[in-house]
Amino acid sequence: MNIGVLLFFLHNILATALLGYKFVSSKDSVFKNFGIVLLLDSVAFAVWSAAVVLKPENLDLFVTVGAAFFITSLVFLLITGTQKMNTSTREMLVILGVVVGLVVFYARTFLYPSAPSFSPEGFFFFNLQPIVQMLYIFGLALTALPTIDSVASKFKHPYDALVRYGFIAEVVGGIILITTIDAQVLYISGWVMGAAYLALWSILLFSKRAWD
């Protein structure tokens, strides 16, 4: 077992769970929904962490269960990012997002199944098929980037920059995780994601001024 890989997943669980709880505890609807996104991601990382530890024969099942929570989090990203839209437009987009999410889950599970594996160095690769990678990238970009901007705009300087660029780093890192087959790239992006999450949770959890 690669301890670095395990620590990466465990830190992601900790960071998303702590930040998710902090956001979901807010009275602001944007923060609440964004908190749900993070909590769903923490469950996804927990499932994938179990796969890293156990290395089960049915590895694809673990990846699929984690993917279900991840895709659901994309729907809640859409819900979060459309808070300021009028009700009819927002409802239409959310319904569309749910339908697209179901289609993506069906496609990645049955039409274009992944082949997750471990490298000789112990790195975990999702090995998604190209069309599924494309769907994930479009889904992340279209839901996460507007939402991150909406969430960051509610913070004052300099915390708005931390939230904006910290979570953008996570999105970019997530795209690298699901597309790369290079261990060195995975190693570097893992450190970047870990540093960004460390900055986010250590500051947002312990700085009262951030939430003023």
The domains of the chain are located at 3-207
Q: Which residues of 184-195 are buried (b: 16+ CB within 10 A; e: fewer)?
A: eebeebbeebbe
Q: How many helices (H) and strands (E) does the chain have?
A: 7, 2
Tokens of 205: 């959890």
Kindly give the confidence (pLDDT) of every residue in the chain, 212 residues in length, as a single tens digit, with 9 standing for 90 and above. Answer: 688 898 999 999 999 999 999 999 999 999 999 999 999 999 999 999 999 999 999 999 999 999 999 999 999 999 999 988 899 999 999 999 999 999 999 999 999 999 999 888 888 999 999 999 999 999 999 999 999 999 999 999 999 999 999 999 999 999 999 999 898 999 999 999 999 999 999 999 998 898 87
Task: Kindly report the pTM of this predicted structure.
Answer: 0.95
**Range 84-87 contact pairs with CB under 8 angstroms and sequence separation of 24 or more:** 84/150
Residues 6+ apart with CB under 8 A from 191: none
pLDDT at 1: 67
Give the integer Cα–Cα distance in Å for 68 and 91: 22
